[in-house]
Amino acid sequence: MKIGILSDSHYKSDYTKEVIEHLKSKECEYLIHAGDLCIEENLQLLENSKLKYISVFGNNDSTLLSFANKYNIKQEPYLFKIKDIKFKLMHLPFYLNANDSDIVIYGHTHIFECQYINGTLFINPGEVCAREKPLIECVMLEINENEYIIKYYSKDINENTFLEKEIIYERK
């Protein structure tokens, strides 16, 4: 199973579109957005991707509250399952306790992080908006029977191709 993970699009719908297209080219089956979509256009891009998706409200998403029923955007922390895997999705990293999830996904810091601690995978995909640094970032998580394969993608806003860094954890 392949899951595309992104966060902190802010007002950069062009970058959001580019990230979604990149993740689709890697054959992702799902998209997870960890908040700060900021504009309806970013929600429309998720919807129009034709992939199953889920997103949460970020601290800059108050103008999107009225779209909760139109798009698949939830309050944080949002607990859900894909197949037999338990996920916790949030924007703010305030709910990082892992006793209720196999995978915890968060955003807000605009910094890529990936750790596997006591059987729980923690992922922050970095930022789509390239606000803190001139990089567009996202993650593809591949879940196999025995391992998590995390592919971190980053692209300089002045370049044409995404660079890839791979991290593999044995599932416990």
CA distances from 70 to 61, 66, 74, 120, 144 (A): 15, 8, 11, 32, 32
**What is the per-residue pLDDT across 115-134, written as a single tens digit (0 to 9) for each?**
999 999 999 999 999 999 99
**What is the per-residue pLDDT across 132-142, written as a single tens digit (0 to 9) for each?**
999 999 999 99
Task: Flag whether pLDDT at 57 surpasses 80.
Answer: yes
DSSP 65: G
Task: Flag whether pLDDT at 84 surpasses 80.
Answer: yes
Under 8 Å CB-to-CB from 109, ≥6 apart: which residues? 93, 124
Tokens 């660079």 belong to: 163
Radius of gyration of the chain (CA): 15
Give the angle subtended at the CA of 169 by the CAs of 157 and 124, to the nearest 5°.
40
Global confidence as pTM: 0.96
- Domains defined along the chain, listed by start: 2-170 (3.60.21.10)
Compute the mean pLDDT over every residue in the chain, rounded to the nearest whole number. Answer: 96
Task: Flag whether pLDDT at 98 surpasses 70.
Answer: no
